[in-house]
Amino acid sequence: MPFSPQVHIEALEDPDANAASLLAGLLQPQARICPKHLYDAQGCALYGAICTLDEYYPTRTEAAIFARHRRDIAARLPRNCQWVDLGCGDGAKAFDWLEHVAATRYVGVDIAEDWLRDTLERGAKRFPDVEFVGIVTDFTRPLSLSHVRDSAHDYTPVLFYPGSSIGNFEPDEALALLKAMRQHLGRDGRLLIGVDAPKAVATLEAAYDDALGVTAAFNRNALRAVNRTLGASFEPATFAHRAVFDPERSRIEMHLVALHAQTVRLGVAQRRFEAGETIVTEHSYKYTPERFAELLSQAGFGQIDRFTDERGWFNVFLAAPAGALE
């Protein structure tokens, strides 16, 4: 008999705090919108389309690494584990793994409760012998997964964080998140994480500024989310999408660029944007294998295995807590 999926609410900002944080970012000298505001329902649909584009190499490159090395990786994972899918979305990447690992429990973690519930329902139908649990949380807040630690059974966790989502955090924030992940693993858990690597600037910038303009639509859609949250008056068509690679910081920077001077109402406030003034919507850091392995070591991981593609464009790391195998 299949398990009935359960959903738990963990660390979420209340709506007033979320709006206040968004407003504060937009009123900074360099206006900013937190990347989480890119992922409303329409944004998620657009991101799904981005992942199928010819220019967007990360999704298919990571999938090829998983397919090529799945048996080797699976052999290194604990048996009867709970598969913790961080930022699970539709669960598709994790469900491919559940067919190859001895997972007893699936924990989907996402900020979108409705989407999460749908993912759990579909997963429970596909894997009736696996317990499905959901945790609604905000990754911009301290990671809190008490239902992973406090389950009624002693399931060893495997934290799964694909898609190079770790690159959307500033390096100090990424380190803090990795340390929090380490704390959730106990002695015998594992972290399986995908990380994009630096490469030719033209390749990187095309991946974030495709010829069809899907990424541009995705970026401008953030302004619609701001309008709903703040009662703002952004007109998305008056902003252009721009994606550039900063080699010094090894990151893609996504901006919205004002096409002409305009004053935008931001609920109780307003801001004047001059022509050419930008709003930063996302940073996506690209890590060399050596730099990311160093970050994992700083976060408290010991044995670190790396799997990559023929061109070295993308890396998958399997990391064990320091001392776990001693």
Q: How many residues does the chain have?
A: 326
CB 279 within 8 A of CB 233: no
Phi-psi sector, 29: left (phi>0), alpha (psi -120 to 50), beta = alpha
Q: How far is CA 154 from the centre of its chain?
A: 27
Domain residue extents for the chain: 34-53+200-285, 56-199+287-321
Most confidently modeled of 15-19, 58-62, 92-96? 58-62
CB 131 within 8 A of CB 106: yes
24-80 pLDDT tens trace: 999 999 999 999 999 888 998 899 999 999 999 999 999 999 999 999 999 999 988
pLDDT value at 168 more than 70: yes
pLDDT of residue 15: 86
Supply the Cα-derived Rg of the chain in whole angstroms.
20
> If you average pLDDT over residues 231-247, what whole number do you get?
98
118-153 pLDDT tens trace: 999 999 999 999 999 998 888 777 777 776 665 546
The residue type found at 143 is L
- pLDDT tier, 326 (very low <50, low <70, confident <90, very high otherwise): very low
Alpha helices (H) along the chain: 15-26, 41-50, 57-75, 92-98, 113-126, 146-149, 171-184, 201-207, 214-230, 289-298
Token pair of 99 as six digits: 């067919």
265 φ, ψ to 5°? -75, 130
CB 159 within 8 A of CB 185: yes
> If you average pLDDT over residues 238-248, what whole number do you get?
98
Q: How far is CA 283 from the centre of its chain?
A: 12
pLDDT value at 321 more than 90: yes
Contacts with 154 (C-beta within 8 Å, 6 or more apart), sequence order? none
pLDDT value at 247 more than 50: yes
CB 224 within 8 A of CB 33: no
pLDDT of residue 65: 98
Q: How far is CA 103 from the centre of its chain?
A: 22
- pLDDT tier, 192 (very low <50, low <70, confident <90, very high otherwise): very high
* Side-chain-facing half-sphere of 207: CA atoms under 13 Å: 23
pLDDT of residue 212: 97
pLDDT value at 173 more than 70: yes
263-277 pLDDT tens trace: 999 999 999 999 999
User: How far is residue 227's CA from residue 159's CA, in Å, rounded to a whole number?
Assistant: 35
pLDDT value at 301 more than 70: yes
pLDDT of residue 221: 97
CB 108 within 8 A of CB 98: no
**Burial class, 298, CB count within 10 angstroms (exposed 0-12 / middle 13-18 / buried 19+):** exposed
pLDDT value at 211 more than 90: yes
Residue recorded with tokens 């890119």: 38
User: Does the domain at residues 56-199+287-321 carry the CATH identifier 3.30.365.10?
Assistant: no
- pLDDT tier, 324 (very low <50, low <70, confident <90, very high otherwise): low
pLDDT of residue 153: 61
The pLDDT mean for the chain works out to: 92
Which comes out higher in pLDDT, residue 158 or 326?
158
pLDDT value at 315 more than 70: yes
Q: pTM for the full model?
A: 0.93
3 φ, ψ to 5°? -75, 145
